[in-house]
A and B are shown apart, each in its own frame.
Chain A
Amino acid sequence: MKTQKKAPTLQISGLNVWYGENHILKDLTFDVLPRQVTAFIGPSNSGKTALVRCFNRLNDFTSNFKLTGEIIFNSKDIYSPKTKGSDIAKQIGMVFQHPILFRKSIYENVAYGARLQSIRPSVEQYTIVEECLKKAQLWHEVCDDLQSSPDILSNGQKQRLCVARALAADPELLIFDEPCDQLDATETPKLEAIVLSLKRQYPIIFVTNKRRQAARVSDVAGFLYCGELVEFGQTEQIFTNPKDKRTEDYVTGRLG
């Protein structure tokens, strides 16, 4: 069997980020590989969210945002002047901390992602919506009220609907930004199961401040502390045999 080295989806080199005077991210360099879940752990205010918002250029809307370094996504420089922010965002799906849904029906919410990819015909759209809802393991719960408002859904279902919407935009990379923060104990395993089932098809970046969740879900993990990438490596190694003292303190619960 041919073993082919996987080309990295994202290559980050020398990334520095400032919000005004605050130096948020300090000289990060790492690769995100396909067919893997890459988790970022760290206490709050360590720059996890700021990091993932660089990838789909959501930081562009933050005032006084400044970035140096390179982010190469599928051999394109994300921050080169020729690249349009919306083109990058189209290829990168994101699920936020809070389930943010549009004031449309459940069907329209998912179809909106497909529509932005200029998929117009309703038959095609319908198959995409069905497929994405199935991937997000929500189809059987909502297939009878696709036309009703998402307000009837529980928080966990809303979050899975957000996953379906991100999938409908046909992304090449998925970002989960602390998706389980607002979820209860029964919904969290469902979302983790979705993440694990999706990692065959999409490279996934998973940000969390729950150490055990990162251990359960991810293949590769990075520990961010005060804007520095303290350690980046296989999840098993980070959790069982950390090289840095701070990482050890964090995974054992003495820090943060």
Chain B
Amino acid sequence: MNRSELIIQIIALATLIIACVLVWILTTEVFHVEGDILSVPMDLDSESDLIDRLYRMIPLLCVAMLLSIAFAFYIEEWLSETTWYYRIINQHISILANIPSLIYGILVVCIFLFQVGKFSNFTLVLAIVFLVVPVTIQTTQSAIRGVDLSVREAAYALGANRWQVITDHVFPRAFPKITGGVFTVISRVLAIAVLLIIVCELRTSIIQDVGSYEISSNVFVLISLALLSCVLSSFLQK
């Protein structure tokens, strides 16, 4: 690993951390709900409410996926691989995509639910975006890279412009892999949805038993260790 690459990875990590802090402030400060945690669960007293909301997230899910596929095409086809912003974007995506979906789930449950006190739409949107976007971009990128260079050249040599090459050759050839990626993402989202529903059911009983719930600091230590190892793995794999 040479020096410029190391610098780019450090910049990527730093911006990610800043983004995380911003998100943290947004969710805890701006969307903070006043009052005792027992007084808020009215917001989410039944499981069906959550399921309703998750259903309402489906259009968002589709939009997020389509946008990520479009973005993947943009960075693969229009950005030159040698530029620094291409490499920084790539680094971000690979760090985020490497994080297991379970960690996102735990973050949603621990931080957004117990700290903020309710599932606001904002937290759900945020969770879905973090879950969906990096993985979709990454699988689409690898699908696009899998298209033989010679096919593009043959099309360019016939006088096709960039759009024609993408729509006539690259997209049809990458399509099976892109749909494969989309299904991976759907499975991740569904797994998180299941986790959320189970936790919601448990939560009411926990609150009734204990009165309130404090997350032990061990949980945070473990989550940060898990995140750290994800980041390290994405660095070392490069």
User: Is there a chain A Cβ closer than 8 Å to B172's Cβ?
Assistant: yes
User: Is there a chain A Cβ closer than 8 Å to B14's Cβ?
Assistant: no
Known contacts A63-B82, A86-B156, then 8 further A-B pairs from the complex at CB < 8 Å, ordered by chain A residue: A86-B161, A93-B158, A100-B148, A102-B169, A112-B158, A112-B168, A116-B158, A165-B158
- Closest B residue by C-beta to A60: B156
Query: Contacts A103-B172, A103-B173, A116-B164 known; A89 to B81 CB distance under 8 Å?
Result: no
Q: 5 tightest CB-CB pairs across the interface, nearest first?
A: A90-B159, A94-B157, A100-B154, A86-B161, A89-B159
Q: Does A96 contact B158, Cβ atoms closer than 8 Å?
A: no
Which residue of B82, B159, B173 contacts A87 across the interface (Cβ within 8 Å)? B159
User: Is there a chain A Cβ closer than 8 Å to B160's Cβ?
Assistant: yes
Q: Which residues of A contact B156 (CB under 8 A)?
A: 56, 58, 61, 85-86, 89
- Closest B residue by C-beta to A100: B154
State A119–B227 Cα separation when bound (angstroms): 56
Closest Cβ–Cβ distance, residue A66 to chain B (whole Å): 13
Closest Cβ–Cβ distance, residue B171 to chain A (whole Å): 12
Closest Cβ–Cβ distance, residue A196 to chain B (whole Å): 22
- Closest A residue by C-beta to B169: A102
List residues of chain B with CB under 8 Å of any chain A CB: 80-82, 148, 150-161, 164, 168-169, 172-173
Q: Does B82 contact A86, Cβ atoms closer than 8 Å?
A: no
- Closest B residue by C-beta to A84: B161
Could you tell me the dominant secondary structure of chain B's interface residues?
helix
- Closest A residue by C-beta to B163: A86
State A17–B80 Cα separation when bound (angstroms): 20
Residues of A within 8 A of B (CB-CB), count: 29
Closest Cβ–Cβ distance, residue A117 to chain B (whole Å): 8
Query: Contacts A63-B81, A98-B150, A116-B164 known; A89 to B157 CB distance under 8 Å?
Result: yes
State A116–B159 Cα separation when bound (angstroms): 7
State A166–B157 Cα separation when bound (angstroms): 9
Q: Does A169 contact B151, Cβ atoms closer than 8 Å?
A: no
User: Is there a chain B Cβ closer than 8 Å to A42's Cβ?
Assistant: no
- Closest B residue by C-beta to A90: B159
Q: Kindly supply a per-residue 1/0 record for chain A positions 60-89, scoring 1 wherever the CB is within 8 Å of any chain B CB and 0 otherwise.
A: 010110000000000000000000111101
State A54–B164 Cα separation when bound (angstroms): 21
Q: Does B161 contact A58, Cβ atoms closer than 8 Å?
A: no
Q: Which residues of B contact A58 (CB under 8 A)?
A: 153, 156-157
- Closest B residue by C-beta to A97: B150
Q: Which residues of B contact A162 (CB under 8 A)?
A: 154
Query: Contacts A61-B153, A102-B151, A103-B172 known; A166 to B82 CB distance under 8 Å?
Result: no
Closest Cβ–Cβ distance, residue B188 to chain A (whole Å): 31
Q: Does A100 contact B158, Cβ atoms closer than 8 Å?
A: no
State A169–B156 Cα separation when bound (angstroms): 12
User: Is there a chain B Cβ closer than 8 Å to A150's Cβ?
Assistant: no
